Structure 1
Amino acid sequence: MNRKHESNQSSFKRLAKRFIEQQTLDSEQLDRFEHLLGGFAEHVEPERHEPDSKLLPQQPRRVGGLMAMAASVVILFIVSLNFYLQQPTKIDLIANEVAMNHIKMKPLELKAETLSPLKDYFTQLDFSIVDSTLFTQQNNKMLGGRYCSIQGVTAAQIRFLTAEGKKVTLYEVGYDPKIYGELPMLSQGQQPLFIEVKGISVKIWVEKGLLMAEARDS
């Protein structure tokens, strides 16, 4: 710091002396001026950039405000993330709705042992009910069917009876991935999803362009 100060003094003196030499002064006047210049240069202080006192109170406020804003953003992100993680997925919603319909076991609207009478009955559907390859392998006895809904879309509910005397419900509705999300397709060799909900075993898959769900007592 002292070296820089001395360098500034020397530079100032050289520039001042050069300027005076260019003026019409005699040697005595020049000596007097150099003496005066030396005393002045010794008292020259290097320029200091002091912070504006008016800005000092504002700095803590500004920093504090930014920190508070950053903390608020972090808290909001954490709360939003927890809320998102706690939200049920589309698969969870489908499984819960199917399980509740199976538990309520509302009376059949049409009793039938084959699919043909049910096809004639379900005229309010925008699709045609079909046999499921999974159900034909189980050799269950058909009891009949009724209307229901899956996520607000009208669906068919077909009830079966197993050889052990347990009731099984098959749900069919037109498959729309925008409504139900991506689900496993039997045509692509994918296995059905298996979920346990409220003591009910639920399977969900896509077959022949329809979303199908099976619900049975665990």
Structure 2
Amino acid sequence: MDKLDKNIKEYYMSQSLSEDRMEEILGESSGKTSLKKFYIPMSIAASLLIALLATSVFYFDGYMLTKRVVKEIEMNHNKKLAVEMVSSDYSQLSGMLAKLDFELVEPDSQFTKNYELVGGRYCSIQGELAAQLKLKHKVNGTISTLYAASLNPELQKIKLTDKNTSTTSIKLWNSDNIFYGLAEDL
């Protein structure tokens, strides 16, 4: 068997490819790109696309929610509903609106310089129980509506903004875990 193995080995060792065939094989391999060079840019592009898509969905969700809340505040303000509880004191009115899961407070001292509380009633913002407060402007006597709701995760998505519709000026802001929306006639 050793002689047979030796003969087989010698035979295959004496075999070789022609120079033309060697050139052809070497030429083919130089034109090929490795899979690594293909997959890395593709995975980076896919990751960027996913991040862009997730960001745009989050932004669009917040944008649409803001639009719905502005429309809801405008609609409720334009109904001009009467107050159900009359008080010029935020603490007293908060006691009257006991179903709220937050304490009504004056939004800030600058705010109270311009507005006097007339009273309030229950309402809702996007299905959440809220307070609808009637305010009287101290200088020109116009009536405005202030909406206050507990700042839940859904309301945190709202873009805080000043927005004018065809009939109403609306300002949205947060303070002390309370979401506020102020509506005034234009």
TM-score (norm 1): 0.53
* Alpha-carbon distance between aligned partners in 2 of 1:130 and 1:142, rounded to the nearest angstrom: 11
Cα deviation for residue 137 of structure 1 reads 3.8
Choose which of 97, 106, 110 in structure 1 pairs with 2:85.
110
1:166 match: 142
Structure 1 residue ranges without an equivalent (≥5): 1-84, 185-191
* Alpha-carbon distance between aligned partners in 2 of 1:145 and 1:128, rounded to the nearest angstrom: 14
Question: What value does the CA root-mean-square deviation take over the aligned residues?
Answer: 2.2
Cα deviation for residue 183 of structure 1 reads 4.3
> What is the CA deviation profile of residues 50-91 of structure 1, one whole-angstrom value per residue up to 9, with x for unaligned ones?
xxxxxxxxxxxxxxxxxxxxxxxxxxxxxxxxxxx8xx7111
Q: Secondary structure at the match of 1:89?
A: helix
Q: List aligned pairs for 1:55-66, cutoff 5 A.
A: none
Q: Secondary structure at the match of 2:112?
A: helix
Cα deviation for residue 115 of structure 1 reads 1.2
Structure 2 residue ranges without an equivalent (≥5): 1-59
1:201 match: 169
Once the two structures are aligned, what percentage of the paired residues are identical? Answer: 29
* Alpha-carbon distance between aligned partners in 2 of 1:181 and 1:117, rounded to the nearest angstrom: 27
1:213 match: 181
2:23 match: none
Q: List aligned pairs for 1:1-218, cutoff 5 A.
A: 89-133=64-108, 134-138=110-114, 140-162=115-137, 163-177=139-153, 179-183=154-158, 192-218=160-186
Cα deviation for residue 113 of structure 1 reads 1.3
* Alpha-carbon distance between aligned partners in 2 of 1:183 and 1:149, rounded to the nearest angstrom: 16
Rg (Cα) greater in structure: 1
Contact 1:175–1:210 under 8 Å retained in 2? yes
Following TM superposition, where does structure 1 have runs of at least 4 consecutive aligned residues deviating by more than 2 angstroms? Answer: 180-184
Contact 1:201–1:217 under 8 Å retained in 2? yes
* Alpha-carbon distance between aligned partners in 1 of 2:144 and 2:97, rounded to the nearest angstrom: 19
